[in-house]
């Protein structure tokens, strides 16, 4: 019983998908092709010529200690942000799903942050984390020099992780709440009648049934942290202090566009693309297939 | 029926209006992209309106592209797509790339072809030379120019008996120590900007940043940290440890000019272009003055280096547009336009005639402009030497970023200042070698 749409003309389906294909070609395949070309040449910014250098750009990228430290902090950022955002998102969704007082209002309020652009979040959190005037300056009031994201790399990265997680919590919340609400009421009610308390029901019924949502969000959060952290970094730290927040996407931008090293940046972006493709592959191959309700 | 007649009349009026507008469209249009925003962006727009009102043959269309970096990035992207503007404003360190690309119309050629005579030696030589070939032929037009100066809070330092700004670093040390002893939290502020703290320091002490005459002599130049700068950087770090200096960056909440204007910090080194903004935003009654950058005792002053940006005319536009471009560049070089720039921004005049004219008009005697002539005096201190005429070091935006990262690492205690400086030297030279390889077979004009 397979349903198939049939078209009288063999051209019609192609015409229908043509706009989409064109968009993908112009905004994805074309630039990617260009990046591949740049990655294997030394490109003069003003376009005066290029010299084929083979794998030199990649060799330089992989032999640079700054690149590896960028990879390290990108992974740290991605994992920490995702863990925090998923944990908090799940907790909030469980509360709202239990219809705690004011749930309706909370539901709306918790969806909003996702609509805020990253640079705006960056600006706001810069004020929050400001060592002299922000909320965090309380630490400095207690003990001078305790909090200084403008010189202390660990503080700066922590600040980015908190801001990044804050941004993702709303997204995760929406998915978790939808996931929770699609769990048949009957299961919960039956468990309640058998005497299972709310915590027990969360652990044994809601959480396992949320597993597909959970793994979907893990992949999306990780990918998002790798590629969408740019706006936050640019506004909050500009990669500093001392490269402590020079995440992979930001390094590509600053090497390529600020430093006009198009070829080095192209090589880095191909590495990053490979990483994101691998993550997506994992999602489709393993997670999607294995995580169906057992 | 009545309504239709009104509509008809309205349509005719619109059509007539359109033909009237078309008559004005006969002017030759050309584009200028600039890299200034906020109040400075508005001044640029005013420039364009003034130019369009001053003649009837051309119309300049001016587009702000964000900051300097964005303007350069966007212009390069547009250039590669063959949709670039005729004139573009490029900041000081973008000069080397553009020179090597050869994708510009040299200033002298443009003006000669369009029948303008320009007195090239009228340009203040430390400004003109930055944008000139090694033989001294200017390739672009100096536009908004600045140099680094010291900003000095008279009020704060009067309290410790030092009202006049110090001329030497030894005097600076005595002053900051005295102020610290009085309990002032921030006698002096620094950031990690290589321009005022490293490049200008070397220029005024007549020390090289790199071999081969700071790169003028060839792309194989190598960055060298001058011993005096090494000593100076270590000194600054020790002062920071002692609490005599605070680090003030945008990421830390308040940058240098903001910290100074609010009265938080009593001294800083920064661009003269900030003079206008500090005057506008300063704490009520703050008594301050700019002064020349301090020297180490035993050194005589060489001219400081020019900063800011120049106007480049790009190749590959229709010939008629170049007539307009030449007219505009001729327009901005007039003394009254230099006065306009000085009045509305913190930038300095770029020609001797412009400077003399502005000085004679009593501009620098007005309280809101006090000390602004210091910057020109600093640029005029000597004829430019091999070390102070400018830099021709490739990938220099990345070298500046490298300086910032390494100094941050040193000030955060991750490495010693000497290790940071060594890293700047070795990694900076890697960047230069990469640049040399990118432009293999090309040489600077």
Q: How far apart, in Å, are the Cα atoms of B300 and each of B294, B297, B303, B382?
A: 11, 8, 10, 10
Q: Nearest chain A residue to B77 by CA: give it.
A: A46
Predicted confidence (pLDDT) per residue in B303-330, tens digit = 999 999 999 999 999 988 999 999 999 9
In chain A, residues with a C-beta closer than 8 Å to the C-beta of B72 are 260
Calculate the dihedral angle through the C-alpha atoms of A86, A88, A89, A94, rounding to the nearest 10 degrees.
120
Number of helices (H) and strands (E), helices first, in chain A? 15, 2
Whether residue B7 is predicted with pLDDT greater than 60 in this model: the reply is no
Q: Looking at residue B264, what DSSP letter applies?
A: S
Q: Does A243 lie at the interface with B, CB-CB under 8 angstroms?
A: yes
Place of tokens 């003269």: B272
Please tell me the predicted confidence (pLDDT) of residue B5. Answer: 55
The Cβ of residue B22 has, within 10 Å, a number of other Cβ atoms equal to 9
Domains of chain B: 29-146+306-365 (3.40.190.10), 148-304+394-438 (3.40.190.10)
The H-or-E segment that residue A1 falls in is none
What is the three-class DSSP state of B127? Answer: helix
Mean pLDDT of B257-272: 94
Could you tell me if B152 and B263 are in contact, meaning their C-beta atoms sit under 8 angstroms apart?
Answer: no
Please tell me the predicted confidence (pLDDT) of residue B1. Answer: 42
Find all residues with CB under 8 Å of B327, minimum gap 6, and list them: B55, B57, B58, B114
Strand pairing partners for B59? Answer: B29
> Does residue B14 or residue B285 have the better pLDDT?
B285
Could you tell me if A241 and B412 are in contact, meaning their C-beta atoms sit under 8 angstroms apart?
Answer: yes
Place of tokens 């863990």: A83
Q: Does A124 lie at the interface with B, CB-CB under 8 angstroms?
A: no
Q: Nearest chain B residue to A133 by CA: give it.
A: B253
Q: Does A44 lie at the interface with B, CB-CB under 8 angstroms?
A: yes
- Nearest CB partner across the interface for A240, out of B101, B102, B408: B408
Which residue numbers of B have CB closer than 8 Å to A's CBs?
Answer: 69, 72-73, 76, 79-80, 97-98, 100-103, 192, 247, 249-254, 395, 397-398, 401, 404-406, 408-409, 411-412, 414, 434, 437-440, 442
In chain A, residues with a C-beta closer than 8 Å to the C-beta of B442 are 48
Mean pLDDT of B133-148: 91
Whether residue B278 is predicted with pLDDT greater than 70 in this model: the reply is yes
Best probe of the A interface among B139, B253, B445, by most A CBs < 10 A, is B253
ipTM of the complex: 0.82
Q: Does A108 lie at the interface with B, CB-CB under 8 angstroms?
A: no
Chains A, B: CB pairs < 8 Å: 104
Please tell me the predicted confidence (pLDDT) of residue B149. Answer: 96
The H-or-E segment that residue B221 falls in is none
What residue ranges of chain A have pLDDT lower than 50? 294
Nearest Cα residue to B274 out of B294, B253, B260:
B260
Find all residues with CB under 8 Å of B15, minimum gap 6, and list them: none
In chain A, residues with a C-beta closer than 8 Å to the C-beta of B192 are 240
> Does residue B119 or residue A103 have the better pLDDT?
B119
Measured at the alpha carbon of residue A44, what is the angle toward residues A41 and A49, in degrees to the nearest 5?
Answer: 75
Q: How far apart are CA B205 and CA B5, in angstroms?
A: 80
Mean pLDDT (chain B) is 89
Find all residues with CB under 8 Å of B125, minimum gap 6, and list them: B383, B384
Tell me how far apart the 2 most distant CA atoms of chain B are, in Å.
Answer: 93
Test B251 with A241 for CB contact under 8 angstroms: yes
Predicted confidence (pLDDT) per residue in B14-69, tens digit = 554 444 444 455 889 999 999 998 888 999 999 999 999 999 999 999 999 998 98
């Amino acid at each position: 019983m397979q349903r198939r749409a049939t078209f009288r003309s063999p051209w019609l389906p192609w015409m229908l998908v043509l706009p989409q294909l064109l968009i993908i070609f112009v905004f994805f395949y074309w630039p990617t092709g260009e990046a591949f070309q740049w990655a294997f040449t030394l490109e003069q910014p003003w376009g005066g010529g290029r010299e084929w250098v083979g794998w030199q750009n990649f060799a330089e990228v992989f032999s640079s200690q700054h690149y590896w430290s960028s990879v390290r902090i990108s992974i740290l950022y991605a994992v920490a942000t995702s863990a925090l955002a998923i944990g908090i998102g799940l907790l909030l969704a469980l509360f709202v799903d239990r219809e705690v007082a004011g749930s309706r209002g909370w539901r709306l309020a918790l969806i909003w942050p996702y609509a805020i652009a990253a640079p705006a979040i960056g600006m706001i959190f810069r004020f929050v984390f400001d060592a002299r005037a922000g909320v965090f300056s309380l630490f400095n009031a207690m003990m001078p020099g305790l909090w200084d994201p403008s010189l202390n790399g660990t503080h700066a990265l922590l600040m980015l992780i908190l801001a990044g997680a804050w941004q993702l919590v709303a997204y995760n919340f929406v998915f978790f709440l939808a996931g929770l609400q699609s769990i048949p009421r009957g299961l919960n009610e039956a468990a309640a009648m058998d005497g299972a308390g709310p915590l027990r029901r969360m652990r044994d019924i809601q959480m396992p049934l949320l597993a597909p949502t959970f793994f979907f969000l893990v992949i999306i959060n990780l990918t998002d942290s790798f590629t969408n952290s740019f706006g936050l970094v640019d506004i909050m730290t500009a990669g500093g202090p001392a490269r402590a927040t020079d995440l992979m996407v930001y390094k590509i931008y600053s090497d390529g566009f600020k430093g006009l090293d198009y070829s080095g940046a192209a090589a880095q972006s191909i590495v990053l693309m490979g990483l994101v493709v691998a993550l997506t592959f994992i999602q489709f191959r393993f997670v999607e297939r294995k995580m169906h309700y057992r | 029926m009545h309504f239709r007649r009104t509509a008809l009349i309205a349509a005719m009026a619109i059509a007539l209006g359109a033909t009237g507008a078309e008559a004005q469209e006969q002017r030759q249009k050309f584009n200028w992209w600039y890299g200034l925003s906020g109040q400075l962006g508005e001044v640029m727009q005013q420039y364009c309106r003034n130019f369009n009102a001053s003649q009837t043959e051309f119309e300049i269309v001016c587009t702000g592209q964000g900051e300097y970096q964005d303007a350069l990035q966007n212009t390069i992207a547009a250039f590669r797509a063959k949709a670039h503007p005729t004139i573009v404003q490029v900041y000081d360190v973008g000069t080397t790339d553009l020179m090597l690309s050869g994708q510009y119309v040299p200033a002298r050629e443009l003006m000669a072809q369009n029948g303008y005579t320009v007195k090239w030696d009228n340009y203040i030589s430390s400004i003109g030379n930055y944008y000139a070939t090694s033989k001294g032929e200017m390739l672009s037009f100096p536009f908004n120019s600045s140099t680094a100066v010291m900003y000095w809070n008279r009020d704060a330092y009067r309290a410790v008996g030092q009202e006049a700004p110090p001329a030497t670093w030894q005097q600076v040390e005595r002053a900051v120590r005295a102020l610290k002893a009085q309990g002032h939290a921030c006698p002096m502020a620094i950031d990690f900007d290589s321009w005022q703290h490293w490049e200008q320091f070397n220029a005024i002490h007549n020390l090289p940043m790199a071999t081969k005459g700071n790169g003028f002599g060839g792309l194989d130049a190598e960055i060298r940290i001058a011993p005096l700068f090494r000593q100076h950087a270590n000194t600054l770090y020790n002062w920071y440890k002692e609490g005599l200096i605070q680090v003030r960056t945008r990421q830390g909440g308040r940058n240098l000019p903001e910290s100074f204007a609010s009265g938080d910090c009593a001294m800083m080194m920064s661009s003269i272009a900030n003079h206008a903004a500090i005057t506008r935003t300063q704490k009520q009654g703050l008594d301050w003055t700019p002064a020349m950058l301090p020297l180490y005792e035993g050194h005589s002053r060489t001219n400081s280096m020019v900063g800011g940006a120049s106007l480049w005319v790009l190749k590959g536009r229709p010939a008629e547009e170049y007539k307009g471009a030449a007219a505009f560049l001729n327009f901005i070089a007039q003394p009254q336009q230099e006065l306009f720039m000085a009045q509305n921004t913190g930038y300095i005049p770029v020609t001797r005639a412009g400077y003399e004219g502005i000085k004679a008009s009593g501009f620098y005697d007005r309280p809101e402009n006090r000390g602004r002539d210091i910057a020109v005096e600093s640029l005029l201190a000597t004829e430019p030497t091999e070390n102070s005429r400018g830099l021709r070091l490739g990938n220099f935006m990345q070298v500046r970023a490298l300086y910032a990262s390494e100094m941050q690492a040193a000030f955060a205690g991750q490495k010693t200042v000497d290790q940071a400086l060594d890293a700047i030297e070795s990694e900076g030279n890697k960047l230069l070698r990469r640049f040399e390889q990118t432009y293999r077979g090309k040489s600077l004009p």
